[in-house]
Amino acid sequence: MVRGYMRRLLCLLCAMAVLAAVFSTGCNSSVVETKATNKGDTIHHELKTFVYSDFYREIYDESTEETFRAYCEAVSKGKTEFVCTSNDFRITSRLKMLASEYMPVAYTYAQITTIDADNVAHIDYGMSTDEFLKKYEEFEEKVIRILDETCKAGYSDAENAIAVYDYFARNITYTNYTSSYIVIMEENGVCQDIASAYDYLLGQVGIDACVCNSMLNRQYPHTWSIIRLDGKYYHADPTFALSNPGTLRYFGFTDERRSSMDDYEEFPFTYGFELYEDQEEKFKSQDDRFIDLSDSTDYELDLDNSQIKYVSAETGDNKVFTVMD
Domain map (residue ranges) of the chain: 54-130, 152-289
Three state DSSP letters for 79-128:
CCEEECCCCCCCHHHHHHHHHHHHCHHHHHHCEEEEECCCCEEEEECCCC
Please calculate the CA angle 285-269-158 and round it to the nearest 5 degrees: 35
> What stretches of 172-285 show up as alpha helix (H) in DSSP?
180-186, 191-204, 238-243, 255-262
List the beta bridge partners of residue 322.
307
Residue 25 amino acid letter: T
What does pTM read for this prediction? 0.87
pLDDT in tens, 139-188: 999 999 999 999 999 999 999 999 999 999 999 999 988 899 999 999 99
pLDDT in tens, 22-37: 333 333 333 333 444 7
List the beta bridge partners of residue 301.
308
Pick the range with the lowest mean pLDDT from 159-168, 253-262, 299-308: 253-262
Whether 207 has a pLDDT exceeding 60, the answer reads yes
The percent of residues in the chain predicted with pLDDT above 90, rounded, is: 72
pLDDT in tens, 107-145: 999 999 999 999 999 999 999 999 999 999 999 999 999
Which pLDDT band, with edges at 50, 70 and 90, does 266 fall under?
A: low
The answer to whether residues 212 and 264 touch, using CB atoms and an 8 Å cutoff, is no
State mean pLDDT over 216-244.
Answer: 91
Which has more confidence, 14 or 323? Answer: 323
List the beta bridge partners of residue 276.
271
Class of domain 152-289: alpha beta
Which pLDDT band, with edges at 50, 70 and 90, does 101 fall under?
A: very high
